[in-house]
Structure 1
Amino acid sequence: MILNGPGISYTEPDIGSEFVPPLPEHPREAIVKLCEHCTNRLLHRDELLGYEYWSFAEAATDEQAEVLCKMKMRRPYTLPEMVKLTGMPEADIEKMLDDMSYTGLLEYNWENPERAKQWVLPMLVPGSAEFLNMRVSQLEEHPVYAKFFEQASKGPLSKATPMVSPGGAGIGMHVIPVEKAIDAASTSVPIEHIEHWLDKYEGKYAASTCSCRASRRVMGEGCADDPADWCIAVGDMADYVVETDRGHYVTRDEVYDILRQAEDNGFVHQITNIDGENKIFAICNCNVNVCYALRTSQLFNTPNLSRSAYVAKVEKDKCVACGRCVEVCPAGAAKLGQKLCSKKAGGQVPEYPRQELPDATKWDHTKWSPNYRNDNRIETHESGTAPCKT
């Protein structure tokens, strides 16, 4: 098992490695520095990784790389601040910032009292890895971006995921349950409702390409979904994806249509939560077969990375074993063949296997589930079920 070698497969097939050439004998110094500046510090690595080097090498000129190295990660800079930081003429630095935003190395917003445009150097994931993959024409021209996203959403998180607390801790995604499934009780927190976020960003929605679907398709492991329009950017992010040719504005009714299609297909609603509970960038409608966020939490057996605040439970008196919950559960948690009740004295039922969690256990690669994609498709416990589910 190679956990940190060529390809960095982390127990999974090393898909997309054909898009990563060997490192050059004399790597571009500015790109090497950019890799060091942007890479995830959780691995404490000083190793130059091929997929990271070639992605930045194809995405940035040396001059752009030098400017990016001057910017602190996730710290917004207005145009006057960038002029002061770089010493470049205003027109020149503004054009460079917009060019890098179009590529996906930067994002921008207007989140300040003056509503002045400001540019941000994002994290790798969620951030620049997605942006590099969201314009299909760009991705097809530079398929190494697909490998970059596939690895950046996995390797750097291999050590962090066991430490993630419930709710994602701003590292992963946060699952939002289907709206109609949540009872409007006092315990139903507003931020757990899609309606809450649509109200908060009223009139500012854009449908954009799903970077996970697009990335996996380029590497030959896509699904039947068309990557277009599954991700719904909100607020300033909606303007960013439209202005950089990554999506198009949609109405609230069109958002509902997308959400209904997603629910009909058994997709998972997820929101970004890297800036706390009062702000999101997008609502994703994720297919468990290709979603990198769901993949990471399942591969490393760390459900906190993408969990919901709600837990689904079977109402025994209403269950007719139709199997619908088994078919749509993205994590394979629901299975047929369980005895939910017993006629024996005391009503005791068998104890079924429960997944071990990292809350009170030392977590390393021996606890991972590299075969999660196949295991999650197992719909019946070994005890079996009747030929007729009902």
Structure 2
Amino acid sequence: MSMRPKIIEMAQHISGLKIDFTENDPRYYVFANLVNDEQADVVLAMKRRNQEAVEDIAAKVNKSYAETFEICMQLADMGIIEIKPQGDGTDKFELPIYVPGIYELMMLNKEQIEAHPEIARAFEQYTREIVEPVARIMPMGNGAMRVIPVESAIQAETRKAPYEELSYWLTKYQNHIGIAPCQCRLVRTQMGEGTGSIAEELCILLGATAESAIMTGKARRITKEEAEEVLLQAEKKGYMHQVTNMDGTNKIWAICNCQRDVCLALRTSQYFNTPNMSRSNYIAEVDPEKCAACGQCVETCPANAVRLGQNLCTKEPIEYPLTPLPDDHNWGPERYNPDFRENFENVYDCGTSPCKTTCPAHIAVQAYIKLAAQGKYLDALELIKKENPFPAVCGRICPHDCENECTRSDIDEPVAIDEIKKFIADLELNQETRFVPEKLYDFSHIKIAIIGSGPAGLSCAYYLAQRGYTVTVFEKEQKLGGMLTLGIPSFRLEKDVVEAEIDVLHQLGVEFKCGVEVGKDVTLDELRAQGYKGFYIAIGAQAGRKLNIEGENHKDVISGI
């Protein structure tokens, strides 16, 4: 099929470039199968980023007001132009640029992106290719999107720029706030680049853009207080706030809550290893008196700005290499990191603390010991349970190899790590002091079946329930716990300890069905018919064969141990 001259002209108009586009250019093919010539004429009659009245557009395209208004509404529904409500009750229309702008708005039309997967492909390609020439020379804070810090972390003496605070923007646009699904997550889903992150409502639209998106069904209206709750939940999930950065310090039209391996805006700095493309104007500092060296900031940091390294007493000091930046180095493809989603190197060659490295669950041992020393026992318990949902069980049966690696033994004796963990974990035995994690997600519409209630099945149930899924555990025995209950004698592991930790799962909403043997009393197909969307087989290979799952193509089945 030959290229359409009208769409080429439209792409040139929006981009501001009089170049010969190819059919593989995302600025062209995003419209090629979507926009008709009449719609393209209306776009060509509009100036970029300029509010225009329908009658003025109609005069340029030689159509009636009614015809022109209808085409403008079609384009607004597509996401190619925006409706701009005026104070007198009339509407004007504005033609945005590609990004931030047209691509994001086009992605919010669900039926459209399902019918035209090329929109997601164009969004990804454009935001990658257009940035490369400027990535190495972009001054700090001048990218198309700018990171904004967690407001509660800004020290009082540094509060000199209100436009760097989320509350400033929410107050400014408090009567014009909308919420929409994250467009980057929609892109990843559409392109089959799953991350396990569902396209939740995480994109806060502001001002006239919010009103346009609400009018065309792309967003729903929320209050300032609801927006503040969205931001708080995003911070708890480890997401990063970003704002549009096209209009200086006077105007933004969106606040995004971004995940490092999903966001196309954060990718501009990660792919090209150029942090200035998205970085905040603030610089974070660590308070050594408060830091427990747990490493969570390193694991969460979406720009790989913080790294882990040992802080040990050694005869020879450890020197960590400086990270090269485009400010003072030649920059090219040899320094890019196109596999940044998987190649997320945040640990120096010398590694983390030896006790954490040796721990099979990789628990931040040194961190929970420091928290315990400060009397913050519940915080210590919470930290342990990020990696191990059954600390009281582990405190009684763990071989504690971490103590063998403890560097304190070079002076006298290793720290009694296992006893400290057991002391902290005994909080689980008391319902008033046990730690039950907060659910940060609501995926309750997705039902998951876990087959087997041993350590693997219970761990799976804990983390799925924590993420808000509806979880049911099927156990063929009459007692929960698998080998914890049936294999380890009570003098080594008291049964009330196992029951106390399983009770946390009850509090998280996990349902247990004992005396039900999957494959005999109920089949996987019968469970599918009951609405279960996924299965975790937390049993051995022999039992797996009895379920007739080995060698079959069950995409919703994950085999465990």
TM, length-normalised to structure 2: 0.60
Match for 2:31: what amino acid? F
- In structure 2, which of residues 227, 230, 243 is the aligned counterpart of residue 271 of structure 1? 243
- Are the equivalent residues in 1 in contact too, given 2:79–2:109 (CA < 8 A)? no
Residue of structure 2 equivalent to 1:56: 31
Match for 1:152: what amino acid? Y
Match for 1:368: what amino acid? Y
- In structure 2, which of residues 39, 46, 55 is the aligned counterpart of residue 71 of structure 1? 46
Do structure 1's residue 134 and structure 2's residue 101 form an aligned pair?
A: no
Residue of structure 2 equivalent to 1:88: 63
Partners of 1:355 and 1:343 in 2: CA distance = 23
Match for 1:54: what amino acid? Y
Partners of 1:45 and 1:104 in 2: CA distance = 24
- Are the equivalent residues in 2 in contact too, given 1:214–1:222 (CA < 8 A)? no
- In structure 2, which of residues 166, 181, 202 is the aligned counterpart of residue 194 of structure 1? 166
Partners of 2:262 and 2:132 in 1: CA distance = 18
- Are the equivalent residues in 1 in contact too, given 2:275–2:303 (CA < 8 A)? no
* SS state at 1:241 partner: helix
- Are the equivalent residues in 2 in contact too, given 1:206–1:249 (CA < 8 A)? yes
Structure number with the bigger relative contact order (C-alpha 8 A, sep ≥ 6) is 1
Match for 1:369: what amino acid? N
- Are the equivalent residues in 2 in contact too, given 1:230–1:285 (CA < 8 A)? yes
Unaligned runs of at least 5 residues, structure 1: 1-23
Do structure 1's residue 152 and structure 2's residue 152 form an aligned pair?
A: no
Q: Any idea what the Cα deviations from partners look like across 1:90-118, whole Å, max 9, x if unmatched? A: 1111111111011011113247x868532
Do structure 1's residue 383 and structure 2's residue 350 form an aligned pair?
A: yes
Write the mapping of 1:165-204 to structure 2, written as runs, cut at 5 A.
Answer: 165-168=139-142, 171-204=143-176
Residue of structure 1 equivalent to 2:276: 304
Match for 1:260: what amino acid? L
Partners of 1:41 and 1:315 in 2: CA distance = 49
- CA shift for structure 1 position 381: 1.3
- Are the equivalent residues in 2 in contact too, given 1:207–1:247 (CA < 8 A)? yes
Residue of structure 2 equivalent to 1:234: 206
Q: 1:273 to 1:50 in 2, by over 3 A?
A: closer
Q: 1:82 to 1:266 in 2, by over 3 A?
A: same
- In structure 2, which of residues 309, 322, 329 is the aligned counterpart of residue 337 of structure 1? 309
* SS state at 1:159 partner: helix
Match for 1:252: what amino acid? K
Match for 2:174: what amino acid? E
Partners of 1:359 and 1:78 in 2: CA distance = 45
* SS state at 2:48 partner: coil
Residue of structure 2 equivalent to 1:367: 335
Q: 1:245 to 1:383 in 2, by over 3 A?
A: same
Q: More displaced, 30-39 or 242-251?
A: 30-39
Q: 1:381 to 1:115 in 2, by over 3 A?
A: farther
Match for 1:238: what amino acid? A
* SS state at 2:98 partner: coil
Q: Any idea what the Cα deviations from partners look like across 1:240-295, whole Å, max 9, x if unmatched? A: 11111111011222212211221111001110011111101011111111100001
Question: How many matched pairs?
Answer: 357
Unaligned runs of at least 5 residues, structure 2: 357-363, 367-561
Residue of structure 1 equivalent to 2:137: 163
- Are the equivalent residues in 2 in contact too, given 1:174–1:272 (CA < 8 A)? yes
Partners of 1:201 and 1:138 in 2: CA distance = 29
- CA shift for structure 1 position 308: 0.5
* SS state at 2:136 partner: helix
Q: 1:45 to 1:28 in 2, by over 3 A?
A: closer
Residue of structure 2 equivalent to 1:8: none
- CA shift for structure 1 position 127: 1.0
- CA shift for structure 1 position 328: 1.4
Identity %: 36
Q: Any idea what the Cα deviations from partners look like across 1:193-240, whole Å, max 9, x if unmatched? A: 111111111122111111100111011113333313110111111111
Do structure 1's residue 324 and structure 2's residue 291 form an aligned pair?
A: no
- CA shift for structure 1 position 157: 1.4
- Are the equivalent residues in 2 in contact too, given 1:233–1:281 (CA < 8 A)? yes
Do structure 1's residue 206 and structure 2's residue 174 form an aligned pair?
A: no
- Which entry has the higher C-alpha Rg, 1 or 2? 2
- CA shift for structure 1 position 358: 2.1
Residue of structure 2 equivalent to 1:224: 196
* SS state at 1:56 partner: helix
Match for 2:111: what amino acid? S
- Are the equivalent residues in 2 in contact too, given 1:135–1:209 (CA < 8 A)? no
